[in-house]
Amino acid sequence: MEQSRIRNFCIIAHIDHGKSTLADRMLELTGTIPPREMAEQVLDQMDLERERGITIKATAVRMTYRADDGRAYELNLIDTPGHVDFTYEVSRALAACEGAMLVVDASQGIQAQTLANVYMALEHDLAIVPVINKIDLPNAEPERVADEMTEVIGFPREEMIFASAKEGVGTTEVLEAVVRRVPAPGGDPDAPLRALIFDSKYDPYKGVIAYVRVVDGELRAGQRLRLMATGRALEPLEVGFFRPTFAPGERLGTGEVGYVASGLKTVRECRVGDTITVEGAKTTPLPGYLPAKPMVFAGLYPANADDYELLRDALEKLQLNDAALHYEPESSLALGPGFRCGFLGLLHMDIVQERLEREYGLDLLATSPSVEYRVLKTDGAEMAVDSPAELPSPQETAEIREPWMNVSIIAPDRYIGATMDLVTGRRGEFVKMDYLDHGPSVREGERRVTLEYRLPLSEMLVDFYDQLKSRSQGYASMDYSFDDYRPARLVKVEVLVNQHPVDALSVIVPAEKALAYGRAAVERLRRLIPRQLFEVPLQAAIGGRVIARETVRAMRKNVLAKCYGGDVTRKRKLLEKQREGKKRMKRVGNVDIPQEAFMALLRLEK
């Protein structure tokens, strides 16, 4: 295909605005997938994506479209996730494209993630095609949403396309707009090969499969290639493109998107953001990607300690497919060897844990999530702490700083009070408030407003998003970004089970909430830890001071059941023997803590 007839674009939108359904209609119209193989959300290839109804991984596909001018065009589409936790996937997709299709729900209008994605696309200097989707819904207001997009973002009215992906309305207009408005890719076809790896996965037969965008030159099967960052030479087993399954081909030209089956079995040697070139060529590497900064940290441990090596291999292979995942080995006295993992958010953590369990057959325990604190010690040294177990003692600590976030919430104005109450109850600071709707046609209470706050990340970790949705009846949306680190009065609350501290249950909380948290934690654990044959004390402590205690009562075996009458001294002797046995058992007995206990501490009422 001529370079002038190639179009590389991605679909960006807030979650559940119809990106994947619109991609389905484009695949149908271009005949990329035969009708008998067509399914709903065909680009959502993971079972987890279909079950949850969300896109988790960016997916590429090549379409051939004959436009109104009679010429055939090659359209390379990347479908991206919409949830804020997967923004890193979106940013990588944007870097591999010249255009972006912005999809907005005609019933919901502009949401927080819509604005965040638009700003990212503008930073990458992409041509944006605005599409107002779901115009077939009974409560759709396409004209109001069009006015909103003109006022807030500045799109000309004549550039907007009204569509219904479900009904197939407007799909042709969308493809024509992509052909007309998205520029052809740049790059020199005569220069030495330079191809950017924007994603990758591991295949047990083909090794590491790199998803590439060819920037200069051409990539042919059988060439000797080299990875510029690691210096590793390779001879590809297969070169091809996406349909959306792997379709082998002979070559990838300048500006095209496809894949290279490297045959490498060591996943560390092929990384996202690396540049592929021809062996012996003298050229400079492409800029690549900034590494993702993890926001949430948690420990992942195998339920069976013998599975530690399997977990390490699984994390290596998963990191190849999910570049935002970070991990390093750690060991816990209670749970044995495991890994401290960094995630972009709580949903990301949940998805990673579920993928490890499903795709690699592991049984895992996850500890309470934490954020990264900066600790200034009394000797002047500064250290980063992402696990409560690493926090120095109060005598060695001069100051603890915690991360704060810039939070943007968009909601109808009738929910302003409930939203403000939620954020201020989580130590939030108000920044500003702007109205998005200014027209006289907007009904009372339906005028949408943007609320901007600064909020500690630790307060957003668990149920903040759920509470926001609950208090706004599902109408509010949220986006957030890192602001800075601020000093705070924080303490470590340790939980002792049978007088032994369980480091995996320790948490860092504000000093004023420590007493209430400690009481709630031991009360919740008392209900969750199974009763043993001996009494189990549960204690919450700050430093050496116990602030709360509960006791899991012992199960009592009826040792007198075999006595039919007889002297009371016989019964007393049996009871004394039982009491001595329980004392001895308490000294040497182990208490198994179920996974629900770790997760239950997250759900404690704020």
CATH number at residue 35: 3.40.50.300
Alpha-carbon distance of 258 to 585, in angstroms, equals 63
Same domain, 13 and 160: yes
- pLDDT greater than 80 at residue 602: no
- pLDDT greater than 90 at residue 73: yes
Residue where a domain stops, chosen among 442, 462, 488: 488
Q: How far is CA 263 from the centre of its chain?
A: 29
Same domain, 268 and 300: no
- CA-based nearest residue to 504, from 366, 398, 362, 361: 366
Judge whether 290 lies within some domain: no
pLDDT on residue 590: 65
- The helix (H) or strand (E) run that includes residue 569 is helix 568-588
Specify whether the CB–CB gap between 324 and 291 falls below 8 A: no
Q: Is 37 helix (H, G, I), strand (E, B) or coil?
A: helix
- CA-based nearest residue to 261, from 206, 318, 193: 206
pLDDT digits (tens, 9 = 90+) for 450-500: 999 999 998 888 778 888 888 888 788 888 888 899 999 999 998 888 888
Judge whether 376 lies within some domain: no
Same domain, 174 and 261: no
CATH number at residue 461: 3.30.70.240
pLDDT digits (tens, 9 = 90+) for 516-558: 989 998 998 888 888 877 788 899 998 888 999 999 887 777 7
Beta-carbon contacts of 222 under 8 Å, excluding residues fewer than 6 positions away, are 235, 236
pLDDT on residue 295: 84
pLDDT on residue 395: 85
Q: CB count, 10 Å around CB of 76?
A: 24
Residue with tokens 């359904």: 21
Same domain, 49 and 168: yes
Alpha-carbon distance of 407 to 429, in angstroms, equals 10
- pLDDT greater than 60 at residue 589: no
pLDDT range class, residue 604, cuts 50, 70, 90: low
Judge whether 385 lies within some domain: no
Q: Is 360 helix (H, G, I), strand (E, B) or coil?
A: helix
pLDDT digits (tens, 9 = 90+) for 330-369: 887 777 899 999 998 888 998 999 999 998 999 888 887 8
Same domain, 60 and 164: yes
Alpha-carbon distance of 449 to 432, in angstroms, equals 10
Judge whether 378 lies within some domain: no
Q: Which residue has the higher pLDDT, 229 or 604?
A: 229
Specify whether the CB–CB gap between 288 and 234 falls below 8 A: no
Residue where a domain stops, chosen among 181, 216, 243: 181
- Provide the domain limits for residue 503: 492-603
Same domain, 441 and 510: no
pLDDT on residue 498: 83
> What is the average pLDDT across 177-189?
92
Beta strands in 110-172, from DSSP E residues, in sequence order: 127-133, 161-162
pTM of the entire predicted model = 0.78
pLDDT range class, residue 595, cuts 50, 70, 90: low
Backbone angles phi, psi at 258, to 5 degrees: -165, -155
Same domain, 499 and 479: no
Same domain, 158 and 10: yes
Specify whether the CB–CB gap between 241 and 213 falls below 8 A: no
pLDDT range class, residue 418, cuts 50, 70, 90: very high
Report the chain's terminal Cα–Cα distance, integer Å.
Answer: 59
CATH number at residue 583: 3.30.70.2570
Same domain, 265 and 158: no
Q: Is 548 helix (H, G, I), strand (E, B) or coil?
A: strand
Alpha-carbon distance of 443 to 586, in angstroms, equals 67
Same domain, 12 and 160: yes
pLDDT digits (tens, 9 = 90+) for 135-180: 999 988 899 899 889 988 889 999 999 999 889 899 999 999 999 9
- pLDDT greater than 80 at residue 8: yes
Specify whether the CB–CB gap between 124 and 98 falls below 8 A: no
- pLDDT greater than 60 at residue 605: no
Looking at the DSSP bridge assignments, the partners of residue 433 are: 451
pLDDT digits (tens, 9 = 90+) for 196-208: 988 888 888 888 8
Judge whether 78 lies within some domain: yes
- Rounded to 5°, the CA angle 538-542-548 comes to 35
Judge whether 387 lies within some domain: no
pLDDT digits (tens, 9 = 90+) for 241-251: 988 888 998 88
- CA-based nearest residue to 104, from 138, 129, 121, 126: 129
Judge whether 383 lies within some domain: no
Q: What is the DSSP letter of 228?
A: T
Same domain, 480 and 500: no
Q: Is 523 helix (H, G, I), strand (E, B) or coil?
A: helix
pLDDT range class, residue 438, cuts 50, 70, 90: low
pLDDT digits (tens, 9 = 90+) for 246-300: 899 888 999 999 999 988 887 777 888 889 999 888 888 888 777 778 888 888 9
- The helix (H) or strand (E) run that includes residue 365 is strand 364-366
Same domain, 341 and 408: no
Residue where a domain stops, chosen among 228, 249, 278: 278
pLDDT on residue 606: 42
Judge whether 284 lies within some domain: no
The count of structural domains within the chain is 5
pLDDT range class, residue 583, cuts 50, 70, 90: low
pLDDT range class, residue 592, cuts 50, 70, 90: low
pLDDT digits (tens, 9 = 90+) for 372-400: 899 999 888 899 888 888 888 888 889 99
pLDDT on residue 401: 93
pLDDT digits (tens, 9 = 90+) for 26-48: 988 998 888 777 777 677 767 77
Alpha-carbon distance of 325 to 314, in angstroms, equals 12
CATH number at residue 329: 3.30.70.870
pLDDT digits (tens, 9 = 90+) for 49-72: 777 778 888 888 999 999 998 899
